[in-house]
Amino acid sequence: EESFCRAFGNALIFDHREDTSVGGGHHAQWSAGVEEIIRDASANVAPRTLFPFQRTSRSSHTFKVSHAQLVETILLLIGVDEAMVALGHLLNLAREMAGAPPSEDQRNSLCTSAEIFAGVCRATLHLHVDRAALSELWKSTLLPFLEEAINRVPISHLGAFFDAFRYGIHHFPPGKFVELTEWIIGKIETTLWQQPTENKEDLGDVVENNFDAVNGASKVAEGFTTQSKWLFLISAILIELDDETDLGVANRLPWYTNTLLNGVPISRGGDDNGKNVIPIEDMEASWDIVSKRLLPRLLQALGHPYEKCREHIAGCLFRICYCHRKCLKSSMTLSKDSLDPAAENTIGTIDPGCMITSQLVSIDGSDKYSFKEQHHALITARKFIVYCVHLGDCKNEFSDFVIPLLPLCFKALKVKLEDSDGEVKAADRMLEAEVVKGFRYQVAEIGCSCAVNYGNSLDLTRVLDALDQVSSFDSWQIRQAAAHFLRCFQGGHKFLFSAEHSSKIRAIITSLLSDERREVSSAAMAALTGILASMPLDTVTQLVHEYIVLANKSVVKRKKKTVKVQNSGDKGQNLSKSGCDLSSRRAKDRSQRQQTSVYFLCAAVLAQPYDTPPYVPAALAALSRHSFERTAPLGVREVVKMCCSEFKRTHMSDNWEMHKRQFTEEQLEALQDVVSTPHYYA
């Protein structure tokens, strides 16, 4: 009856209210941290919030799964005919709740509306086996309700409907909710902002011209709040499309479904032999809609002018890649198990990962974007990488998407507006700074947190090849970031490196030691310090002796007095010019060798902060020759003094007598020349 449904809905709203009668309306006074522990434990263990058992958790903290379970169970118990009548009453009540005016109970009403839809949707999918009848019910009842409710619900409370979508279609074949998928994608096609293709005027002017000055409505696209709603909801569909994680579970309910259904007997599907059967056409139809309609639309909106929409676009792109991999794996297995040997798997014909990666890689060098569009697209690419790092795995997402996009991350660190001759807008400068800051953090996150799959040496080679490429870029910010990245990446993978990998890493770092920018060479020396600390002592000793020889040969020598010879004619001038060029090249090569060898020896000394291996005294003696003004430039002298001062701080204290035994008298004098303070009367 309608009266019962209304009373039932009001009871669900009332259940959302907080009980203020306990303790006189005051919260319990827990010790510091205890309240957070209890809250987290209840959020993960309590049956009313235990949802959805996947890597992506609930979006709304107010959505109660127990309410949706109760609605679903009631509809399943009263039969199909009675359920259809009650379904109409409940949706009418939920429609009223979705349009609740601002009040204290508005949040509770909106959340209860989503819970009612979740229970109704899941019960409907269980009760209707006939696809034609189910399709008609979607079009006549469920979708009209969503059309009205979604437009009424504020974006701040849309997380409840996100969870409702997921609960309603959780672990159902894609064919049972293909109408919902088509409906949301159609909304995205008609509302989502698209990149202008004809003219390349400034994006700010384009957005400004697209809005009516009278009523503020958009002429080209819907408001960004509406666009954000549909992008947010389609991500819920994409999450549930990839539930075919384990092969053969298409119609088999998982182990925790009995708890979700509260013991309601539900047919598990399958044939007479107990083997689960799922029509491959269901997955192919849903995937065809996503890959041919949704994916191109998202790729055209990479440069979206609004932050929240860019975040949702990046999340949808990641979900499409994630979904495709799972569906492809399941469909291949189901095709093998099919009785029809001619069954063809069409899911693998379109690889969205390649399309997305190629589109993102081409952002930096593309001329189809304006300045703002290009930097907005770069922000979208960075958020896509964030999803791959946090929600992907090292075997698939890191190998397939993060490594190919690694050069783009480094290229985005270059500040281009500094080289501009014209007047630069403050907004453009701020946008570029935001992009550079975000990618600098992203490069650091990839280097620290991403791990290559064990035994996959090819991925290690690909990463090192990318670093070798970016380490020779013109921008010093990129070279500095490459040194910092290699420092972190080597520390996390040093036990997986082969001899070839270690040699290549050392070659990249050594090439950066002689960089003209002090920031780059210092970062390279810090990276080399960690590398040498993890290498065998014999190998380091051999390398140190080689660089000692190189350092001794690269000391600045006094210029010899030469007798000027008067040359006559053009021939004499050409000889003099070529001689000067040759001399300058030799001086530059000597300076690079000196800086490389000195920085390498300093890194070798700093790599042993507590011990004194046999090579350290020899390295310090060689470094002392480069601490004088007549033998080395200022940058080299400062590094030598810093290294010797650090050695004095860590070694020349309590245990100095033990470390001192490793030095000869000559080596001690050389060290004292650097670390001792000059006397006042000297």
Percent of the chain with pLDDT strictly greater than 70: 76
Q: CB of 353 within 8 A of CB of 410? A: no
For 61, list phi and psi in degrees, rounded to 5: -85, -5
Separation between Cα atoms, residue 523 and residue 520, nearest integer Å: 5
Tokens of 547: 């660089």
Domains of the chain as residue ranges with CATH: 452-534 (1.25.10), 585-681 (no CATH)
The rounded Cα 342 to chain-centroid distance in angstroms is 40
Percent of the chain with pLDDT strictly greater than 90: 34
Question: Which of 244, 237, 253 has its CA nearest to residue 279?
Answer: 244
Confidence check: pLDDT of 408 > 90: yes
Tokens of 355: 């399309």
Confidence check: pLDDT of 116 > 80: yes
What pLDDT band is residue 272 in, cutting at 50, 70 and 90?
very low
Q: Facing residues of 211 across strands? A: 218
**Mean pLDDT within 245-265:** 49
Helix (H, G, I), strand (E, B) or coil at 211: strand
For 66, list phi and psi in degrees, rounded to 5: -60, -35
pLDDT in tens, 574-605: 656 666 777 778 888 888 899 999 999 999 99
Q: CB of 555 within 8 A of CB of 631? A: yes
What pLDDT band is residue 55 in, cutting at 50, 70 and 90?
low
Sign (positive or negative) of CA dihedral 436, 437, 438, 440: positive
Cα-based distances in Å from 49 to 14, 34, 260, 645, 656: 17, 20, 11, 59, 62
Which of 37-46, 282-291, 311-320 has the largest mean confidence?
A: 311-320
Which of 50-64, 213-227, 656-670 has the largest mean confidence?
A: 656-670
Separation between Cα atoms, residue 628 and residue 552, nearest integer Å: 14
Confidence check: pLDDT of 400 > 90: no
Separation between Cα atoms, residue 302 and residue 380, nearest integer Å: 6
Confidence check: pLDDT of 223 > 90: no
Helix (H, G, I), strand (E, B) or coil at 83: helix
Q: CB of 173 within 8 A of CB of 279? A: yes
Tokens of 403: 């490594």
Separation between Cα atoms, residue 150 and residue 560, nearest integer Å: 86
Separation between Cα atoms, residue 268 and residue 249, nearest integer Å: 10
pLDDT in tens, 646-668: 888 888 877 888 888 888 888 88
pLDDT score for 459: 86
Q: Which residue has the higher pLDDT, 74 or 324?
A: 74
HEC profile of 410-471: HHCCCCCHHHCCCCCCHHHHHHHHHHHHHHHHHHHHHHHHCCCCCCCHHHHHHHHHHHHHHC
What pLDDT band is residue 29 in, cutting at 50, 70 and 90?
low
Least confident of 216-225, 267-276, 288-297, 547-556: 267-276
pLDDT score for 162: 92
pLDDT score for 65: 85
For 343, list phi and psi in degrees, rounded to 5: -65, 130
Q: What is the DSSP string of 144-185?
A: HHHHHHHHHS-GGGTHHHHHHHHHHHTT--GGGGHHHHHHHH
Separation between Cα atoms, residue 458 and residue 122, nearest integer Å: 45
Q: CB of 179 within 8 A of CB of 138? A: yes
Separation between Cα atoms, residue 150 and residue 228, nearest integer Å: 12
Confidence check: pLDDT of 422 > 80: no
Confidence check: pLDDT of 214 > 50: no
Give the position of tokens 């042993």. Answer: 608
Provide the residue count of the chain: 682
For 127, list phi and psi in degrees, rounded to 5: -80, -30
Sign (positive or negative) of CA dihedral 320, 322, 328, 330: negative
What pLDDT band is residue 143 in, cutting at 50, 70 and 90?
very high
pLDDT score for 574: 61
In the Cβ-directed half-sphere of 630, how many Cα atoms lie within 13 Å? 3
Helix (H, G, I), strand (E, B) or coil at 362: coil
Strands (DSSP E) along 84-124, which ranges?
none
Instruction: Record the pTM.
Output: 0.80
